[in-house]
Structure 1
Amino acid sequence: MKLVSTPRVEYLRTLAAEILNLNGRGRVIVAVDGADAAARTAFADDLAAVLDEAGTPAFRASLRYFQRSREDAARFGADTPERHYRHGYDYSALRRVLLEPFRLGGSTGFVTQVFDPDRDVWIEPTWTTAPADAMLVIDGEFINRGELRDAWNYRILLESEATSEADYLYQKEERPRQVVSAVIDLSQRHLPQRVFSDSC
């Protein structure tokens, strides 16, 4: 489906073309990072729509649905921003049911959601398959931390100041701006701007 042309869509078309040119064929995973959850989710949704428009099947996922249950998280101590940063997500499940099967290609199924953090309940898995050439666009806080960084073919950071103590810890320890493929200023959401620096 042809998207309505707006400055935001035109920017995303340019970004999608760059991602496709850099990664060629096969299964590709794009990570969208940023402290503003709503902006991050909307950007990832829009990027997936633009990739679909370009003829590359794009699937969406979010780290939000790979959080630990409250009971599981409590094993790591009191509910603090540091606990959320260090132990709030089940990266083992993320790799096992989504990242690794998506990479395998073929008819291997993958799951994009395992846990509903609002209701604190597990989600009945829905297994999805994809064609040989496909994109997975995944968003989430702390997504460019060291233990995940090798999973992404292309890393995007939506630039903003730390909005929580957990995000401050992440930025201080991981310095995501230094490791991403693209830093994007979304201070005007309808008009994204690429931010270039010596580290990009």
Structure 2
Amino acid sequence: MRVRPISSEVLVQELADLLICREPDSFLRVALDGAPAARPEALADALVGPLRAGGRPTVRIDTADFLRPASLRLEFGRDNPDSYYLGWFDEAGLAREVLDPAGPAGSGRILTRLWDASADRAARAPYSHLKPGTILLVSGPLLLGGGLGFDVTVHLEMSAAALARRTLADSAWTLPAFERYASEVDPASFADVVVRVDDPRRPAMVVER
């Protein structure tokens, strides 16, 4: 594997430049995949300004707003890594309410939030109609390999040691889920863009695998 060290600012600009020129007249569904310690949501947030400045309407989606109800999510306990890996995120809801409507034959009518996890009820958010050329930035963990309809995939990769070091103590129980994800799915082997973020202050683009 060959990597190119890059500053956070240059990373954001290079990704923005890549996305702006992709399918300018169509919706573009972009996955920003990474463990919470990799902070995929921060990268997604940082991309919004440059994308809009480049003339692309941009909508942010976070999988934290597409969790399954607690009765299903926590059926086998609050710290079960297999449940986290297989059953925490409502992938069917994300596909139905976001990715499919933003697909080639979609209506462009999406729901940006489906579930309010703190209240454990439907978020009751209104539907939005996407403008032509809108880029959807979907951030969260475990996004790849399950057949979700993304047009561009970005994976934020961390070594097992860095992930263990940077994961909060009360979330350490999720580490086996990410080990399983790396082993069974191996997102770094097929994502369109892979960024090493063992130290988030010093990212590195993977340029050869």
Q: Larger deviation: 60-69 or 183-192?
A: 183-192
Among candidates 188, 194, 199, match of residue 205 of structure 2 = 194
Amino acid at match of 2:114: V
- Where do 1:43-82 residues align within 5 Å? 43-74=43-74, 77-79=76-78, 80-82=80-82
2:111 maps to 1:89: no
Q: CA deviation at 1:37?
A: 4.9
Q: Which ranges in structure 1 are unaligned for 5 or more consecutive residues?
A: 1-6
Aligned residue for 1:180? Answer: 191
- Equivalent residue of 1:96, what SS? helix
Residue 108 of structure 1 deviates from its aligned partner by: 4.0
CA gap of 1:73–1:38, structure 2 versus 1, over 3 A, is same
Bigger mean CA deviation after superposition, 9-18 or 56-65? 9-18
Distance 1:41 1:159, change over 3 A: same
Where structure 2 has 5 or more consecutive residues not aligned to the other structure, the ranges are 1-6, 164-174
Q: 1:167 aligns with which of 167, 174, 178?
A: 178
Number of residue pairs aligned between Structure 1 and Structure 2: 189
Q: Please identify which structure carries the higher strand content.
A: 2
CA RMSD of aligned residues (A): 2.3
Q: Which residue of 1 aligns with 2:127?
A: 127
Is this contact kept in 2: 1:27–1:132, CA < 8 A? yes
* The 10-residue stretch of structure 1 (86-95 or 99-108) with the greater mean CA deviation from structure 2: 99-108
Instruction: Kindly provide the CA deviation profile for residues 44-90 of structure 1, in whole angstroms up to 9, marking residues without a partner as x.
Output: 11112221121101100011111111113356x45511011111111
Whole-angstrom CA distance in 1 between matches of 2:9 and 2:62: 21
Q: 1:37 to 1:110 in 2, by over 3 A?
A: farther
Secondary structure of the residue aligned to 2:183 is helix
Look up the equivalent residue of 2:71 and give its one-letter code: E
- The structure-2 alpha-carbon separation of the partners of 1:105 and 1:10, relative to structure 1 and needing over 3 Å to count, comes to farther
Deviations 1:101-150 (A, max 9, x none): 223678742101111223322211221112111100001110012322xx
Using a 3 Å threshold, how does the CA distance of structure 1 residues 105 and 146 change in structure 2: closer, same or farther?
closer
Change (3 A) 1:38 1:128: farther
In the superposition, the TM-score normalised over structure 1's length comes to 0.83
